[in-house]
Structure 1
């Protein structure tokens, strides 16, 4: 049997050990929850970074499209309607059925631009041009007496021509 002074000494020595053990158990039980919170925060940070990159790419694309409209891109029409550009679709002249000349910058009435590549295929698509830039390009082309060239594209969709 332990005498009272030994009991007190033992109690004093075991109390810190018990507290350390209790803290260890709590930490062990809490670790998975903290790890899950950490992973959730990392996922949120990653999503925000992805959105920022996406917005930067959209801004770059818009700048390219606005620049192309400002440099008198060729507005295309089909059957009396503005043609909507579809990336990689083949665009041919509605007059002679031949593919448009490679290197030609074309645009539509809803903010899309492209460069005609080999075999009349639309490449280097850039969209999202500012509506006021598109409107000015249509007005400028109409004032210059432009007849919007008729094209034929099995993949294109059309919107009613204003010009």
Structure 2
């Protein structure tokens, strides 16, 4: 199980235990603090992937286009769209954070609050990656197993040629 899936599973368990039947938290402050921790943990889990994720997404898009139609899952196009949109939103939020945080001093309440807000705004897009990111691996697996146009066709039985008889 991936780290992000574990974070989401732990959150779901916490949320189920700490809300009423209508989904309202028993203790809003504790629930909010736990949600902030979920957001921070999810962002930390995604950070190591951040540098190469756009390349992985582009590779999967190319692989999907080249797959034989009978090997592609119809949901993959949708999932790649969700991932691309989420990545674009995460890039935009990161740029905003870098611009806004440049005037804040780390370790202050103002900085911590701004960081928590940034992480909360990013969480749903990170959750999209946690929920649909496996499509990249599935597409890669299908592409590796698909026949390549570079692979020669199986050899046919040799054609016997007989000399023309006079």
**TM-score bracket for this pair, using the shorter chain length:** under 0.3
Structure holding more helix per residue: 2
Greater RCO (Cα-Cα under 8 Å, separation 6 or more): 2
Q: Indicate the structure (1 or 2) with the bigger Cα radius of gyration.
A: 1
TM-score for both structures, normalised by structure 2: 0.27
